[in-house]
Amino acid sequence: MKVLISDPMSEIGIKVLEETPGIDVDVNTGLTPEELKGIIGQYHGLAIRSATKVTADIIAAATQLKVIGRAGIGLDNVDIPAASQRGIVVMNTPEGNTITTAEHTIAMMMALTRNIPQATGSLREGKWEKKKLKGREVFNKTLGLIGAGHIGRIVADRAKGLKMKVIVYDPYIKPESIEKMDLEPVSFDELLQRSDYVTIHTPKTNETVNMFNADTFARMKKGAMLINCARGGIVNEADLYDALVSGQLGGAALDVFASEPPGANKLLELPTFICTPHLGASTTEAQDNVAKDVAEQIAAYLLHGSVKNAVNVPSISSELMSILRPYVTLVERMGALQSQLAESAVLEVKIHYAGAVSQYDMAPLTTAVLKGLLTPILKDDVNFVNAPYIASERGIKVVESKSQTSEDFASLVALTVKTLEGENIVSGTIFGKDRPRILRINNFYMEAIPEGHILLIQNQDSPGVIGQIGMTLGKFGLNISRMHVGEEKEKKQNVIILTTSTIVNDDVLEALRGLPNVFAVKRIEL
């Protein structure tokens, strides 16, 4: 089996592959897309970091490729749907750099607090500015964590060692689970009002893009400091500049930017702003860990079929996977739909398998449900291996049941998700051999294709409503690819599932919500 390493990687990872019998490894970095396209057809495995862009064109040329392994977490540079369509397993290494990223957050907080970069620059200029560069203590200060995943928890642990008070906002974890971590759960507004420092530990999603903006900064404690070592785009950089200039924020530290490198950015002119060039995972230990992990994972899959940390396939035999693959796709998207329907933390997941599908081992499908449920929240941090563990860690109760008969379909999967605010029911099936369909959302029944950029609209069943929706989308230049309507006759209400050609922005959502007889509009990505 031949493996190509196309990005610079720790020698430890290269050595693992070189010393594995049955694996022939080539290291060829800095390839142009055309150069990679020209040689990828001879390889069975591809090991990358962030530089190589594995596009649909590259995948189409990869006639023998079986696995793509990312030494790190983020997979924005891999066309996962194209890889999945070709049956290529995509893996990452989500655990290798958690400590490193958490430590960098603490380092940024301390450097910001004590003006260390500014003091270094001042001394290099021959100055001695003790009074001007006076800092503050972190002792007894309140640290507000946005997100209590693996990295957030490590930051909390280190901060408590510094005798800081730690409060947490994470709407996807039950307050009781946060309390079990010996942390205090709070609302977003309370965190902003109380925190002397705010650190961000969340993926970049539709909900977190521009999460920190002019309005957010205005609600923060005056003089508070903001640290983001998570993902660029979560902080609105123009608004951050204004908040620092006005003195509303006492300082800010960014390891990530909306565009990288950031180029001519006004923030770089401010003495209360410090930054690093995306160094969160850049330690020798972390790079050794992820390189070793990805090499071992690629070798194990190519030689033994073992799957670890795959983001697009569960760990099951190839024979069973050929049968269950359409259901894996269906239930993963049902889980993702449920996650985006939820208004608060998930408490319980009930999955009922009915009909022919119930005769198989349900564990892979339940894992796929959980992976789908958690992906909109955690993005690349969740995969088919760790999804059950993360669900358990977050206190999510999972209940499976099955029956051998299904009244209307050969197979049916019903997914009920209970949250702090209530519960939602979604059911689905497979049409033909491999066509997933959503059949029910709560009390609305339809036959909807669960894929693409979706608008879920609840409205009064009145003449002209659908026309107004179409006209509104047309004004914004959005094309409707598909439309499905479910009806609840007793209440004379509809749920409309619209698939658009491109993702809709917040302005479109507000315009739709302002239409007469429209009750609610949600943006769903499947």
State which amino acid sits at residue 3.
Answer: V
CA distance 233 to 258: 4
User: Are 142 and 165 spatial neighbours (Cβ–Cβ below 8 Å)?
Assistant: yes
User: Are 402 and 353 spatial neighbours (Cβ–Cβ below 8 Å)?
Assistant: yes
CA distances from 15 to 81, 95, 283 (A): 31, 20, 19
Q: What is the dihedral of CA 91, 93, 95, 101, to 10 degrees?
A: -130
N-term to C-term CA, the chain: 34
Residue that has been written with the tokens 């230990």 in this structure? 285
Query: Is 260 assigned a catalytic role?
Result: yes
User: Active-site residue among 19, 35, 137, 260?
Assistant: 260
Which helix (H) or strand (E) is 361 found in, with range? Answer: none
User: Active-site residue among 49, 153, 278, 333?
Assistant: 278
User: Are 487 and 494 spatial neighbours (Cβ–Cβ below 8 Å)?
Assistant: yes
User: Active-site residue among 231, 333, 394, 437?
Assistant: 231
CA distance 310 to 382: 9
Q: What secondary structure does DSSP assign to 179-199, as a single string? A: HHTT-EE--HHHHHHH-SEEE
User: Are 272 and 224 spatial neighbours (Cβ–Cβ below 8 Å)?
Assistant: no
Query: Is 231 assigned a catalytic role?
Result: yes
Count of residues making up the chain: 526
CA distance 350 to 245: 50
Query: Is 179 assigned a catalytic role?
Result: no
Closest CA to 398 of 359, 371, 438: 371
Q: Which active-site residues does the annotation give?
A: 231, 260, 278
